A = this chain, B = another copy of it.
């Protein structure tokens, strides 16, 4: 063994006085006699041998690495999701290779390409590029977004969550509901929150309005909208469903600026419930996404051996959690 460079199997074999293949078997699933196994393990320990995973990857075409492509991890929902993905992958013996796109469609494509350069056993992506090219070569699971017919999409039951929020608000006495949304221009599963909300309202004959914004619009339009619907210190709506916990908090602050407080004057329900997954009590009443389950499911589907007959959309159940902005205090 040359000094300075890492010891190889050949070194271990020489040190242990066995054949190369025997050493290989020890570090894989081969059957090796107990005596030989010990000899090899000792020699390996003595030399500080570690498997070279690049040589292994070259031979096996398996890398035990999965690429996770996300717009960012600053948004608590994404950071909690990432952490759960990381744990789910680790549990199965996989490592996580994280790419952050910052919502840049080109970056998304670039990362997907890079990941496919034979470096990864699969990709989990939350992408906004509507014309993303994904080679069938590498297993791909999409989060929240439809990519192409053969790419499974994992998401929360956004429709059900929207219904749940509206139903809850009505049960708590609300009579004029409002749905507020801000997000990407590219539609995803999460936009079904509105559909669920409207479906319930229409079905139950509840008065309701909707304000649907894109990130580029900023919060300004919310402010003017609310302003236009406040008369003599009184808001036209008594229940608001916001597409996100983050938005809920912003709206709460905004309304407080107008002297309108939750839950006395208006009840607010958000979506995500990440605070719960962070071990805190939620800062607002919310529809909780089952993040750990979402992560597990993504990984399960991604690593499924049988790649034929994959589901195209998996919706996972959400739940409601009280968090102070509604009048169902525990």
Interface residues of A (CB under 8 A from B): 6, 48, 50-55, 57-58, 63, 65, 72-74, 76, 79-80, 82-83, 86-87, 90, 95-100, 113-114, 116-119, 135, 137, 277-278
Question: A6, A90, A95 — which one has the most chain B CB atoms within 10 A of its CB?
Answer: A95
Copies of this subunit: 2
- Given contacts A51-B117, A52-B118, A96-B97, 10 further A-B pairs with CB under 8 A are A50-B117, A50-B118, A53-B118, A54-B119, A58-B58, A65-B97, A73-B73, A73-B82, A74-B80, A95-B99
**Are B72 and A83 in contact, with the CB atoms below 8 A?**
yes
CA distance A324 to B153 in the complex (A): 43
Q: Check B58–A116 contact: CB distance below 8 A.
A: no
CB pair A53–B100 under 8 Å, yes or no, is: no
Q: Is B72 a contact partner of A63 (Cβ separation < 8 A)?
A: no
User: Could you list some 22 contacts between A and B, CB below 8 A?
Assistant: A6-B118, A6-B137, A50-B116, A50-B118, A51-B117, A52-B58, A52-B118, A53-B119, A54-B57, A54-B119, A65-B97, A72-B83, A73-B73, A74-B76, A74-B80, A74-B83, A79-B79, A90-B100, A95-B114, A96-B98, A96-B99, A97-B97
Closest Cβ of chain B to A128, distance in Å, is 17
* A interface SS class: mixed
Report B-chain residues with C-beta under 8 Å of the C-beta of A96: 97-99
Question: In the complex the two chains form, what is the Cα distance from A90 to B83 in whole Å?
Answer: 20
The interface residues of chain B lying within 8 Å CB-to-CB of A114 are: 95
Residues of chain B with a CB closer than 8 A to A97's CB = 65, 95-98
- Measured between alpha carbons, how far is A18 from B97 in the docked complex, in Å? 35
Complexed CA–CA distance, A267 and B154 (Å): 46
Q: In angstroms, how far is the closest chain B Cβ from the Cβ of A145?
A: 21
For residue A270, give the distance in angstroms from its CB to the closest CB of chain B: 16
B residues within 8 A CB of A57? Answer: 54, 57
Check if B58 sits within 8 Å of A55, measured CB to CB: yes
Report Cα–Cα, A100/B83, bound state, in Å: 7
